[in-house]
Structures are given as C-alpha cells and as structure tokens.
Structure 1
Amino acid sequence: MFKSLEFSNQTSDFQLPRERPSSTRSSWGFRSSSNLKEKTVKFVRRDDYRHLNLSIYPKTGLLLRVLREEFEDDRLSYFLDPVTKKEVSYEDLSKLEVVLVLEDADVVEYMVHCYNKSLSNSMF
C-alpha cells in the first residue's frame, strides 16, 4: 500500500542557512553592546519621580507620552534642567542625571524651588 521512499544520493532543494557576513549586520540595525548606551535619567514631577532608560524611548513624543501616563498628567510638555533652569532638548537629556518634567502652566522658579527643597529634606 505504501511505497518506500529511497533517498540514495538524491539532492534536495533544501539548504541550511548560511551565516551572513558581519558587515551586513550593521544594516540590520544591530549594534554592539559597546555602542549601545543605556542611560538612565531621573525624571521629577513635583514630589514624585521615575527612573527611565533613554535607549527605550528614541523620540521626544514617545518619552513624553510615557511620562504623561506615569505621572497621570496629560499636560506635560517639556524638560527642564534644575541647575541651569533652562529647557532641555531630547538630545541633551543623556548629559543629565535629573530632569524636571513640566507643563506650560508651571512656574519654573517655583518648581525648581520645590525640587531644591526636596533635596535639602533628603527625600530623593
């Protein structure tokens, strides 16, 4: 009823995948661990804070969306360096350890004052 299959010296179309040359791996988007910087920044909103890894959030919009969810405030719109009291771009976030997350209605001087006061109270 069943015929036996013979595989004697027949070539098949199946071939094992070969390893691709390492030079093409960079075009696939893979990076070596030495090139991948995992920078964690402390984002502060009033008396609350979150530590987030910047390498997970490649764009400002995505980072702000996550921070809006974390702090439950849909009006958060920009980052501020508490030392210089200046707005920080996404590219400069990796240079800082702590960043204030503010909305347009926040008074910068007051928010920086609250942050400095929390430092003196050793809450962070």
Structure 2
Amino acid sequence: MSDRPNMSYTDTVIHETQRMGNIVPLGFPKMASKDATMRGYFILKGTALMHVLTSVLFDKTERETPDNFNQGHFQHQVVKLVQREAFLPFSAGKLVWLGEGLARMEHFLSFVVSFQKLCFSTLEGMELSLE
C-alpha cells in the first residue's frame, strides 16, 4: 500500500470503474431524526430517506461524458487522483458505511494484483463494447 500515492492513474481507473459499475444504485436507508424542510419540501420526523446515488454518478453537470468510461473524470492535468464530491460508490451522508476504507483498500489491491498476475483477453472473433 505504500506505493499507492505513486499509482494515481490506477486509482483513477478504479474510481471510474466503480462509477460506471454503479453496484449500489441506492444508498442505505436513513431516517429523519426531526422534522425538517429541505428545498421547500417538508420531511416529517421518522420518514425513511434513500440517496439515489445513480443520479450523482451520472450527473451531466459533474462530468463531460457521464455515459462513457473516461478515467479523466477523476484526474487532473498531471495524472493525479482528484477526489470529487459527486463520487458516492458506497453511500452518502454523515453515516457512511464503516467498512468503506477497508473496501477501498481491498478493491485497490485486488485490481493491482489481477493486472500484475493475470492475462485478460477476449474470445477469438469477439468484439468488446461499452454500450
């Protein structure tokens, strides 16, 4: 893990893979702890709330090409990982998933080891498409 700060391109690819994969389209349910008004809507205490993470991950105002794989969404001019507010692959809010840090580390290690040790190829005559 000590090499991770020097592997920002790998991190940008992982972030974009998570964004496009969108494996958790809805965040974990939360409950309003008190009556509140948000953007003109009244939210009653005890109301169940869900974050729609898909809307953030594919927001056209946050990314140039939200429907395409583009690791540039997460990099600066020099290949450096840029943490974006509109990247919520696990959950949102103050009570994010406690295992998120461990999951990020495991995902990074699995990704790097896979590309170091394995050879990926398509079947003969098969064309790949992101559509």
TM-score, with structure 1 as normaliser: 0.24
Larger Rg: 1
Larger strand percent: 1
TM-score, with structure 2 as normaliser: 0.23
